[in-house]
Structure 1
Amino acid sequence: MNLKETDLPGIGKKFVIQARSGDKLTIIIHDDGRRELYHFDHDDPDDSVSMVTLDDDEARYVSAIVGGVTYKPTALENIEVALGDLIIEWYKLEPNYKAIGHTIGELKIRQRSGATIIAVIEKNHKKHINPGPDLMLTADAMVVVLGERLHQQQIRQILLNGSG
């Protein structure tokens, strides 16, 4: 996920979110508490396909729903119990990530982060389950990582910045 935040003097604040799915969402929070949500077309990221306006109470209620406060899917409850402090995260290797073109071994993923790459799914959908150190990371691949929260933060930096 990519997030850009912009101050809108006299209006409020604007957040542009580029989701891993490719969806683009813009949220404008007005100084009076209103929220405007814009969803954009995949094929034309400048073309808004829908817009919703919420007042402050509505926005807070929707955020609780989306955040899982009001309902937590059973599958997630079971995973959290089974894994304890361990978290599974999915990272899409955007073309600007410095880890692209390097192997898992070259990046010393496990030694530097404490996390384990449990799968890599390439852009062409080729799957590498429990990949070894010789697997080279490629652009637009999805990297599935198991680790604690601190490990996840560290691996995110390694994927973004490479070995340097």
Structure 2
Amino acid sequence: MYVRESDLPGIGKKFVVETRGGDKAVVIIHDDGRREIYHFRYDEPDESISMISMDDDEARQLAAIVGGLTYKPKALETIDMALDELIIEWYRIEPAYYGVGKSIGELDVRQTSGATIIAIIGKNQGKQINPGPEVIIHADSTLVVVGERQQQRLFKQILLNGSG
């Protein structure tokens, strides 16, 4: 999934969400707590085909449902057991991060943090699965990283400022 975020001065924030399946939605969070969700056509990505408006408590309830807080599919229970303490995190790389322009090997990610970069998604949606140590980290890409909670914390510190 690809997410772009932008400020709407005097209104709130706008999130443009594009799923792997090609769906596009825009979520606007107003400063007063209201939320608007717009769904767009596949063949005409600028034409909204539906819209829903919610107040803050309705949006939070929907988020709990979608996020699996009220019901967890049985298939995911087995994945949780298989992963046990492992967590998969997605890190959007900002231009100011220490790791930008450095290779995975230069950052010594696995040896220093214990976490493993399992994929890189470029800003043009190009994907690199299981990148090697020679792969350079670029701004505006997304890193998919697997590791235990403490390993994820160390990884984030390496990414941000070069030290675990």
TM-score interval, smaller chain: 0.5 to 0.7
**Aligned-partner Cα distance in 1 for 2:78–2:145:** 18
Alpha carbons 2:35, 2:59 under 8 Å: kept: no
Asked if residue 132 in structure 1 is aligned to residue 138 in structure 2, the reply is: no
Partner of 1:155: 155
Give the letter aligned to residue 125 of structure 1: G
Partner of 1:44: none
Asked if residue 59 in structure 1 is aligned to residue 54 in structure 2, the reply is: no
Q: What TM-score, normalized by structure 1, do the two folds share?
A: 0.63
Percent pairwise identity: 44
Partner of 1:101: 101
Give the letter aligned to residue 79 of structure 2: I
**Aligned-partner Cα distance in 2 for 1:128–1:57:** 39
Give the letter aligned to residue 81 of structure 1: M
Asked if residue 25 in structure 1 is aligned to residue 27 in structure 2, the reply is: yes
RMSD of equivalent CA atoms: 3.9
Partner of 2:81: 81
CA positional deviation for 1:68: 1.0
SS in 2 for 1:154: helix
Give the letter aligned to residue 138 of structure 2: T
Partner of 1:71: 71
Alpha carbons 1:25, 1:40 under 8 Å: kept: no
Q: What TM-score, normalized by structure 2, do the two folds share?
A: 0.63
SS in 1 for 2:153: helix
Call closer, same or farther: CA 1:136–1:20 in 2, change over 3 Å: farther
Call closer, same or farther: CA 1:93–1:56 in 2, change over 3 Å: closer
In the alignment, structure 1 segments of 5+ residues that lack a partner are 42-46
In the alignment, structure 2 segments of 5+ residues that lack a partner are 41-45
What CA deviation, in whole Å up to 9, does each residue of 1:27-55 have, x standing for no partner?
1263xxx62325498xxxxx995653324
Alignment size in residue pairs: 150
Call closer, same or farther: CA 1:112–1:24 in 2, change over 3 Å: farther
